Amino acid sequence: MATALAATNHVALADLKGKVDPDWCPGCGDFGVLAAVQKALVDLQIPNHNVVTISGIGCSSNFPGFINTYGMHTLHGRALAVATGVKLANHDLTVLVTGGDGDGFGIGGNHFVHSMRRNVDVLYIVMDNQIYGLTTGQTSPTSRVGMKTKSMPFGNVEAPVNPISLALAAGATFVARGFSAEQKHLTELIKQGIRHKGFSFLDVFSPCVTYNHDNTYQWFRPRIKKLEDDGTYDPADWMAAMGKSLLWGDEIPIGKFFERTDVPALQDAEPVLNAGPLIHADPRIPAEVGRAFVEELM
Amino acid sequence: MKKTFAVGIGGAAGQGVATPGDIFAKIFSRRGLHLNAYNAYQSIIRGGHTFLTIRTGPEKVTNMGDRLDLLIPLNQDAMDRHLGLLTEGAACLYNADTIKPGIAAAGVELCPLPVSELADISRNKVAQNTLAVGAGLSMMGIGFQAVEEVLGEQFKKKGEAVVSENAGIARAGYDYATAHFNPFAWPLPMTGKRHAVLSGNIAMAMGGAAAGVKFYCAYPMSPSTGVLHWMAAHARKAGIMVRQVEDEIGVVNMAIGAAHAGVRSMCATSGGGFALMSEGLGLSAMMETPVVVIDCQRAGPSTGVPTKTEQGDLWQMLGAAFGDYPRVLAAPLDIGDCFKIIPEIFNIADRFQCPGIVLCDLLLSEGRLSVDPQDLDFAPVIDRGELITEASSSGANGDGAYKRYKITDSGVSPRAIPGLLGHTHTAASDEHDEDGVLISDEFTNPTKRRAMMEKRMRKVAGIEASVPPPELWGPRDAAVTLIGWGSTKGVIEEACEILIEQGISANQLQIRWLVPLHGEAILDILKGARHTIIVENNYSGQFARYLRSETSFVPDGYIRKYDGEPFMPHHIVEAVKEQLSGKSTLSVPAHEILV
């Protein structure tokens, strides 16, 4: 049976199981994100050898090791830059970028903003736990004001970033938020993000059960409200998306905030890629082109 | 002594120093003459002072030389700064309406041009430049049709009227000089050769295209920006993806991403940008993804002097990124070599799956040189090393048979690019085992850690074997051996020629490959040397310290310059004489420009 399945290239969940099991803390929100990504790839029937999962550094950035696709576990904050290079060298690949809030909005903030305005065609999933986990509990760029951590023991006095508003302002063409405990909803958002041609940003509430005692599953559950449940919400309306992004308190929206399809993805905006992925190009420049380059100098 | 002729054009930025420079360069090169051009300038877009030296001659011209034959000051400032440097047989062409000459040395001809009589300066603001070009060419003994042809090309885009107006002005200058000024004693000859004239930045960009670079990215930074400009302008014809990135951290990581996906990938920067790339180099080494980074040195530290040259980044290259890892580091010897070195270093980086660094400097990056077009070879050897680009038919997808970091005798593990059936793996910046699985999350695993460290470091021996040791140039048993590295090749070579002419036999050891260094071979060469002097463009003798750390070799003396300007031959000649007479072991020549 397995042979028959391989022959028809059917993608099964078992194909996506990584070489090692995740070593996240029991109850970590990241388990739910991993499961949803695997489910989405099965639903979309994308063979694992055509997927590259790229991360930076942090608890959630261990993700590529726990899924059987091509993986890159890069430097802290640099996953999006690496991913842009991968995608532009071979735009036939499905590129997933995974990481945490410190990695993406802190040390990687510069690349985050510029990757969005570039509209590079990747899905960026941030497992946002509003804390630094792997370094044992310091304030993150999304930690709330007043939150007490080892680095701010008297409470955070700095305002957090709003990743959704920031993504909208930076020109992301797909902006969504999920919750790791909402598996079906999250899987659907991941599938939409992969299908979207351009930069897809998916911020996922992924609670840290060890270091963040404020933003727990119990804290999120009564607050989250799916945008999809509001029949009047139009994700093509940027102003409405910006308005929704500012909601934080008793009601916290999750779901697809915004999507536009009229902006070409970076690979489609660059004529150099018209002939197909660069990895298939002849490394040699045609002799007459080389001669013309030299002729310019004479 | 080689016959050469040097023109110096000085003025404020924005006054149009570049155009007459380009016109002279084209005319010299089309006469089959060699040339070398160096532009001294400051970090300002309008105003300030800029001084372009173009030196030409029938034989190879490797540096700016010691002497100006023709000075063209475009403003009073340029006249005041440079007139005093002219010696017998030289001439100075200037606008008699606006510039007062100073006192020139005996035998220097002052050539005032009555600009407002010869051209309508209300119509043409740079008439003085064009008049001077015409006049200068007349004095050099060059026929006027050469000027017409080049002006036609220069102003083609601006239309026929502009071309003929400029040709008319040049003609007026040409005729005025013929009637009023003495021709130079040495009319510029013609040879049957054809040369390409290019900067080191263009050469490195073209070398990248020839090497099969498909991805280039950069953040603008002087003096490396010329590489980006050539790449951007030629990207579509060459099929290269060129990106301007938000910072150099993004640059190196993006380049590594593209390289990891399977294409040759390159980036260029200067010292400050390179500092930001440092962690990325470690990533390239740890993931064993080859990438080539060009560092065009400028005077540091920090922002330093952005428009001035230095060889001050050597130790940054040697120490870039923490931990031990194999790297390749090469310094091109001249502008032609800037082209040639790129395919060479890519082959080594690809074969050994490690970062390759090209250590260039402003002198080469922004200087211009005439190069034999045959030396710009667009069909160099391309060796991608052990790269797997086709899916294996046997291995089922994800069966675990493929080991990305397989332990081998050479230290090189066959590298599969993403997208291939049967080879999924994770490449990690953390230490990992043969499978790519992290060992950093294990309690401790000294066995695996040691095995992986030794696997990577075994590549060092292979790299060393693939790079030739340096050779001694010039007479054996010379009275003095001058040791240099990278861009000082030409000026040291000329200093040796002058010394020999003056009865002091001199030879040269010029280092191109810095890592691997071939210390044993260098010691073999130097053990027979009578008096050794290390010449370099920095304060602390970075190469001298490196050579000592690798070989325990200590030279007899040092010549160093760290004032922002490159060496001129006489700086080295005078320092050698001073040192041979026992007056000093460290010479720091002063750069003679009136400021």
How is B461-517 classified by DSSP, letter by letter? HHHHHTSPPP-EES-TT-SEEEEEEGGGHHHHHHHHHHHHHTT--EEEEEE-EEES-
Which neighbouring-strand residues pair with B110? Answer: B92
Query: Looking at the domain B201-375, which fold is it?
Result: Rossmann fold (3.40.50)
Q: Between residues 17 and 36 of chain A, which touch chain B (CB distance below 8 Å)? A: 19-20, 23
Nearest Cα residue in chain A from B424: A70
Q: Which two tokens stand for residue B192?
A: 């049957």
A8 or B167, higher pLDDT:
B167
- Contacts of residue A102, Cβ cutoff 8 Å, sequence gap at least 6: A58, A132, A140, A141
Contact of A169 with chain B, judged by CB distance below 8 Å, is answered with: no
CA distance B528 to chain A (A): 43
Nearest Cα residue in chain B from A55: B428
CA distance A181 to chain B (A): 26
User: Per-residue pLDDT averaged across A133-156, rounded?
Assistant: 96
Nearest CA to B256 out of B248, B270, B266 is that of B266
The residues of chain B that CATH labels 3.40.50.920 are 472-587
Contact of A260 with chain B, judged by CB distance below 8 Å, is answered with: no
Q: Which helix (H) or strand (E) holds B8?
A: strand B5-13
Question: What's the rounded Cα separation, in Å, for the pair B225 and B43?
Answer: 14
CA distance A279 to chain B (A): 6
CA distance B427 to chain A (A): 5
Of A68, A72, A275, the CB nearest to B427: A72
Q: Do B240 and A50 touch (CB under 8 A)?
A: no
Q: Do A90 and B261 touch (CB under 8 A)?
A: yes
Nearest CA to B339 out of B202, B169, B217, B537 is that of B202
| pLDDT tens column, A58-114 | 999 999 999 999 999 999 999 999 999 999 999 999 999 999 999 999 999 999 999
| pLDDT tens column, A181-224 | 999 999 999 999 999 999 999 999 999 999 999 999 999 999 99
Cα Rg for chain B, rounded, in angstroms?
Answer: 27
Of B263, B376, B429, the CB nearest to A73: B429
Q: What is the CATH number of domain B472-587?
A: 3.40.50.920
Nearest Cα residue in chain A from B383: A283
Question: What's the rounded Cα separation, in Å, for the pair B253 and B134?
Answer: 51
Residues of chain B contacting residue A90, judged by C-beta atoms under 8 Å apart:
261-262, 417-419
CA distance B263 to chain A (A): 6
Residue B555 contacts residue B483 (beta carbons within 8 Å):
yes
Contact of A117 with chain B, judged by CB distance below 8 Å, is answered with: no
Residue A207 contacts residue A29 (beta carbons within 8 Å):
yes
Contact of A95 with chain B, judged by CB distance below 8 Å, is answered with: no
3-state secondary structure of B454: helix
Q: Do A47 and B397 touch (CB under 8 A)?
A: yes
Residues of chain A contacting residue B280, judged by C-beta atoms under 8 Å apart:
75, 78
How are beta strands B34-40 and B91-95 bridged, if at all?
unpaired
Nearest CA to B259 out of B225, B285, B278, B234 is that of B285
Place of tokens 């994700």: A235
Question: What's the rounded Cα separation, in Å, for the pair A128 and A68?
Answer: 23
The residues of chain B that CATH labels 3.40.50.970 are 201-375
Question: What's the rounded Cα separation, in Å, for the pair B528 and A295?
Answer: 46
Contact of A103 with chain B, judged by CB distance below 8 Å, is answered with: no
Of B246, B258, B437, the CB nearest to A110: B246
What ipTM was predicted for this assembly?
0.97
Query: Which residues, given as ranges, of chain B have pLDDT below 70?
Result: 392-400, 594-595
Contact of A92 with chain B, judged by CB distance below 8 Å, is answered with: yes
Query: Does residue A267 register a pLDDT over 80?
Result: yes
Residues of chain B contacting residue A297, judged by C-beta atoms under 8 Å apart:
196-198, 202
Distances (CA, A) of A219 to A167, A250, B418, B456: 24, 10, 40, 48
- Ordered by where they begin, the domains of chain A are 9-271 (3.40.50.970)
CATH architecture of structural domain B5-180: 3-Layer(aba) Sandwich (3.40)
Sheet holding A94-100, edge to edge: A224-226, A252-259, A174-179, A200-205, A123-128, A94-100, A51-55, A70-73, B426-428
Nearest Cα residue in chain A from B426: A71
| pLDDT tens column, A227-261 | 999 999 999 999 999 999 999 999 999 999 999 99
Q: Which helix (H) or strand (E) holds B302?
A: none
Residues of chain B contacting residue A111, judged by C-beta atoms under 8 Å apart:
246, 249-250, 253
Q: Do B250 and A19 touch (CB under 8 A)?
A: no
Query: Does residue A3 register a pLDDT over 60?
Result: no
pLDDT reported for residue B123: 83
Contact of A91 with chain B, judged by CB distance below 8 Å, is answered with: no
The residues of chain B that CATH labels 3.40.920.10 are 5-180
Size of interface A-B (CB pairs under 8 A): 229
Sign of CA dihedral A9, A15, A16, A19: negative
